[in-house]
Amino acid sequence: MRYVLQQKVFCLGDDYTIRDEQENDCFFVDGKALSIGDKLSFQDMNGNELAFIRQKLLSWGPTYEIYRDGELAAVVKKELFTFLRCAFTVDVPGPDDLEAVGDFLDKEYTFTRSGEVVATVSKRWFRFSDTYGVEIADGEDDVLILASVAVIDLCCHGDKKR
């Protein structure tokens, strides 16, 4: 499935609208302004919360927790010591961890699980605000991957928005 994740230009907090390949609105990410640490609510278009993302404040390096139905679903952590690339781990319960590796300019990312590509992210062809094209393989957890893309944007570009 293909999605376009686009940050709203004039808003308090980090708000995104996510559309499918037919340009239908599918999800909304509501960034909580004026909070201690980053907090995002990942919602369907009816306002139902599908995931809640919060920054873990006392950690070594940027770390975010993704909750679904009140349970910890994943921990997204930026790897600190990489050379000419940006890398993240998406630690999920059990053996299905993901790794997201991006290029030096933060324009292209690939999500892999055990060496298999499960999603690709591109910012290369988009110009206005922070906009990403995301292609997710069939059978993958779209919400988890899209929430992880929002976290990567916060880690790599969050300082430009404040």
pLDDT band at 106 (very low <50, low <70, confident <90, very high): low
Contact call for residues 68 and 43 (beta carbons, < 8 A): no
Q: Which domain holds residue 99?
A: 2-160
Note the pLDDT of residue 99.
95
DSSP state of 160: G
Q: Can you give the CATH number for the domain in which 136 is found?
A: 2.40.160.200
How many domains are there within the chain? 1
Note the pLDDT of residue 153.
83
Instruction: Render 101-152 in DSSP notation, one character per residue.
Output: EEETTS-EEEEEETTEEEEEEE-TT--SSSEEEEEE-TTS-HHHHHHHHHHH
Report the distance separating Cα 145 and Cα 137, nearest Å. Answer: 10
Contact call for residues 25 and 18 (beta carbons, < 8 A): yes
Task: Dump pLDDT digits (tens) for 118-160.
Answer: 999 987 655 555 688 999 999 999 999 999 998 988 887 655 4
Contact call for residues 89 and 76 (beta carbons, < 8 A): yes
Between 82 and 158, name the one with better pLDDT: 82
Q: What is the mean pLDDT of residues 101-112?
A: 83
Note the pLDDT of residue 124.
61
Query: What's the pTM?
Result: 0.87
Task: Dump pLDDT digits (tens) for 10-69.
Answer: 444 568 899 998 999 999 999 876 567 789 999 999 999 999 999 988 777 889 999 999
User: Would you give the distance in Å from CA 116 to the centre of its chain?
Assistant: 19
Residue 54 CB burial class (10 angstroms; 0-12, 13-18, ≥19): middle
**Does the pLDDT value for residue 89 go beyond 60?**
yes
pLDDT band at 6 (very low <50, low <70, confident <90, very high): confident
